[in-house]
A and B are shown apart, each in its own frame.
Chain A
Amino acid sequence: MAAAGMGQQWVLVEMVQAFYEAPAYHLILEGILILWIIRLLFSKTYKLQERSDLTPKEKEELIEEWQPEPLVPPVPKDHPALNYNIVSGPPTHIITVNGKECINFASFNFLGLLDNEKVKSAAQASLKKYGVGTCGPRGFYGTFDVHLELEERLAKFMRTEEAIIYSYGFATIASAIPAYSKRGDIVFVDEAACFAIQKGLQASRSNIKLFKHNDMADLERLLKEQETEDQKNPRKARVTRRFIVVEGLYMNTGDVCPLPELIKLKYKYKVRIFLEESLSFGVLGEHGRGITEHFGINIDDIDLISANMENSLASIGGFCCGRSFIIDHQRLSGQGYCFSASLPPLLAAAAIEALNIMEDNPDIFQTLRAKCERIHKALQGISGLKVVGESFSPALHLQLEESCGSREDDVKLLKRVVDYCMDSGIALTQARYLEKEEKCLPPPSIRVVITVEQTEQELDKAASLLKEAVQSVLN
């Protein structure tokens, strides 16, 4: 202790000596610096933004004068999206729209499971056991044994390690993408991607690079550009994750993505693939497993498959499946999974029963495809309308061959065609979009949905009625 004290004193003596021996300019400079520091410490701080020399009275006046916009702008009464069709009764094969009985060509009930008796009785049994709601998110007493069973069944059906279910179809892909892709990561996405994917990408804050619809050359060009960028900055490239997001069967255009070429690009440029299969699940492939079965691709090559259960499975909700390494992450980071109540058990039971039916009757997929081909052929040759979509796609679009000039007029024209068909007993609808929010707005079209329940006469009737409608409206 004494030695340290002595050491301290000795240092002090040295300091005083140095002080006397230092040159004058040195001391003056240091003195000025110290005075400057003292001045800064005691000067009043000011914020850059608040350079306001406004008096309180002026502030009051500003507050009085400010007028906000109305919360919402008024919507004209005849806006096409304002007046909904009212469906009385179940939206099944024969549907009562606005009081008129029609054949349903507008609901995505591809496998006709919406009014299947077995599905309904499974849901009834679940209702008697669990009631309706789950009253909690999955983490807090909202996990029921039906949810676990559904996840196992889906994983087994799709031949992946694990599956995770969400309680809303839209939220599935919109929560899955931001769970993996964060700010600074790069996502290559097709132009025709659906709105849910766009919202997922927006929530992820990553760099989005759009490539032309189904154009592999354009995608390869973007990937090559990214590669040259990476070579400039290899350290950053080592931590930037890359993803390609595509849909199996595109909702907006009705065609399939070229999955084999995408897999080749994946391994060449080391990008992960997220596949959205809402329309192709339960439709494509020999057993309905989707586009991977359709093309004969190993399911492990796709990093994440996301689909909603609201189309073929005729329930509500969505699921993601893939390897446990990928899916398990969503259990803590999927926003729509952690912060939302779980799927009502009766809907999960309905989905399980629908899966059972899909597994027991693999020939319905072939039947559905045959019907799609039939109507696709029958709808060719309507002058004025062109068919957009693959021949085996159950959700087609009918677009005007020549536009009237403005989107509004096109929409009005198509509405007249739809009304004509509805009056004669075929229920159709226009494809709806949020015009200002879509990144690449598709042209206005009529959506035609083919289901397994439609008979061949009904298909022919629909085709001939559409021909008539277009002729009468366009002339």
Chain B
Amino acid sequence: MLVAVLTYVGYGVLTLFGYLRDFMRQWKIEKCQNATERAEQKDFVPLYQDFENFYNRNLYTRIRDSWNRPICSVPGAKVDMMERVSHDYNWTFTYTGRVIKDIINMGSYNYLGFAQKAGTCQEAAAEVLSQYGAGVCSTRQEMGNLDKHEELEELVARFLGVESAMAYGMGFATNSMNIPALVGKGCLILSDELNHASLVLGARLSGATIRIFKHNNMQSLEKLLKDAIVHGQPRTRRPWKKILILVEGIYSMEGSIVRLPEVIALKKKYKSYLYLDEAHSIGALGPSGRGVVEYFGLSPEDVDVMMGTFTKSFGAAGGYIGGKKELIDYLRTYSHSAVYATSLSPPVVEQVITSMKCIMGEDGTTVGKARVQQLAENTRYFRRRLKEMGFIIYGNEDSPVVPLMLYMPAKIGNFTTTCHVLKIGLFVFSFYLYVKCIYVLKRS
């Protein structure tokens, strides 16, 4: 209770100071450091509303140095950061040229440590780079479908245990370009409260009706499903064409894991379709890294659309969707990404292929399996120790995303600077008042 009050007081004080500073800037008492509009365009309609930028000018800029920290090495367990200083309270930065070495990396999403600068993955990627080049210069449907892409898709389908899969160049775009292809007007999307921006954007672009259910709350979801089927579309009362439930495997903000068995039971009972976004959970959950479906011991056939990204556990870039053959054939024909966007770059594809084979054990070693187990152990150990030390932690016990609550806005800047000095790299969400640590596999 006290904490909540103090947090609000903290924000209130910051807002008041913000107004004061704005006032001083307007009356030229304080110099305005913001970039401004061109003189020739001063009589145009202003590009930004004053209030939109209030947060940016007064709150964000004070502690701007906590974000966008440039690094200059592999995002592995330890990372080198470029030192930067600001002489005018974070309005501009200059790089001193020095490099701070060996910061413990708790901010990169490198769950299994496959982002490496040496080793089998890197060598294979180098080989493919010299053979194929870096770019592709065409879309999948025109001249951009390389044999490497076909190999990758067949491997992803085998990894997930589904009939077929398709890969795309960007994880964000996978959601925002494929959800509109699957649902449209007259369909209903039931989306979790804390879904990622890409899922929200995809749902909005599709034109379907969106209803939000409380985070991981099965009663809320069931109520929405019942109401939807019984009452149909609003005003016209026509039955819905289809209902799609959007959930994520691990939620990157909360660190919680979706209640998959209950969601699947509900989906079967009410004949709806399930879209599972495993951006964080693929490779990180489950005894052999197959994701949240394996973690709960369920069959991948129960999930209609299994989506995930290669950025986190595989150390590459891009996204995929897996499912039944009809679904993937449809997406090959009608997905926005297949028609208008460039396909994956070949060395990136090779990195995914090599790391996936390593996790599956197809490269002949047990390195992949060992890494998955190590991640699980590290996660449990870290969470246990933080709890013992008295920190407040959210999220599921097995989730490698650990949100540590700070609450007071004033502490945010201080905490990150102190951690920086102690050589720990974390990142902070001032909007949600979190400090988030993502526990990376320690390989040494």
Contact = CB atoms under 8 A, between A and B. Distances in A.
Contacts of A88: 146-147
Contact of A72 (B49, B109, B330, B351): B330
A332 B67 CA distance: 11
A325 B36 contact: yes
Q: How large is the interface on A (under 10, 10 to 19, 20 to 34, 35 or more residues)?
A: 35 or more
B117 interface: yes
B193 to A, nearest CB: 17
B135 A315 contact: yes
Contacts of B117: 127-131
Interface stretch (B15-23, B233-241, B380-388): B233-241
Interface in B144-160: 144-147, 150
B84 to A, nearest CB: 10
Nearest to A311: B137
A48 to B, nearest CB: 10
Most buried by A among B47, B141, B231, B271: B141
Most buried by A among B37, B196, B310, B336: B336
A346 interface: yes
A385 to B, nearest CB: 19
B231 A141 contact: no
B345 A135 contact: no
A205 to B, nearest CB: 8
Contacts of A123: 129, 134, 347
A95 B49 contact: no
Interface in B266-291: 270-273
Given A120-B134, A325-B35, A131 B74 contact: yes
Contact of A143 (B68, B114, B242, B347): B68
A344 B138 CA distance: 19
B411 interface: no
A334 to B, nearest CB: 11
B68 A91 contact: no
A192 interface: no
Contacts of B134: 114, 119-120, 123, 314-316, 346-347, 350
Interface string A84-103: 11111111100101000000
Nearest to A106: B143
A444 B7 CA distance: 60
B239 A199 contact: no
A134 to B, nearest CB: 6
A129 B73 contact: yes
B126 interface: yes
B101 interface: no
A84 B316 contact: no
A434 B336 contact: yes
A170 B171 contact: no
Nearest to A327: B35
B150 A86 contact: yes
Most buried by B among A113, A241, A316: A316
Contacts of A437: 336
Contacts of A130: 73-74, 117
Interface string A131-169: 111111011111111011000000000000000000111
Given A135-B115, A339-B198, A143 B71 contact: yes
A242 interface: yes
A310 B143 CA distance: 13
Given A131-B122, A434-B339, A104 B315 contact: no
Nearest to A50: B231
A110 B431 CA distance: 44
Nearest to A240: B45
B351 A141 contact: no
Interface stretch (A8-16, A22-30, A369-377, A425-433): A425-433
Most buried by A among B70, B137, B182, B327: B137
Interface string A65-87: 01111111111000101101111
A344 B74 CA distance: 11
B312 interface: yes
A455 interface: no
Contacts of A211: none
A90 B317 contact: no
A329 interface: yes
Given A92-B133, A180-B47, A344-B317, A141 B330 contact: no
Contact of A339 (B129, B133, B196, B239): B196
Interface in B102-123: 105, 107-110, 114-118, 121-122
B69 A141 contact: yes
B135 A314 contact: yes
A202 interface: yes
Most buried by B among A202, A429, A434: A434
Interface of B: 35-38, 40-41, 43-49, 56, 60, 67-76, 79, 82, 105, 107-110, 114-118, 121-122, 125-126, 129-147, 150, 169-173, 176-177, 182, 196-198, 201, 204-205, 226, 229-231, 234, 239-243, 270-273, 304-305, 309-312, 314-317, 326-327, 329-334, 336-342, 345-348, 351, 425, 427
Interface of A: 49-50, 52, 54, 59, 62-63, 66-75, 79, 81-82, 84-92, 95, 97, 104, 106-109, 113-115, 119-120, 123-124, 127-136, 138-145, 147-148, 167-171, 174, 180, 194-196, 199, 202-203, 237-242, 267, 270, 272, 300, 308, 310-311, 313-316, 323-326, 328-329, 331-332, 335-336, 338-341, 343-344, 346-347, 350, 427, 429-434, 437, 447
Given A71-B182, A89-B132, A203-B205, 18 more contacts: A63-B229, A71-B305, A87-B146, A114-B134, A127-B126, A133-B317, A139-B67, A144-B71, A145-B72, A170-B177, A199-B336, A272-B41, A314-B133, A314-B134, A316-B342, A343-B317, A427-B143, A434-B339
16 contacts: A79-B333, A81-B333, A108-B138, A128-B126, A131-B76, A131-B115, A132-B347, A133-B310, A141-B79, A143-B69, A170-B177, A170-B336, A202-B205, A203-B201, A434-B336, A447-B142
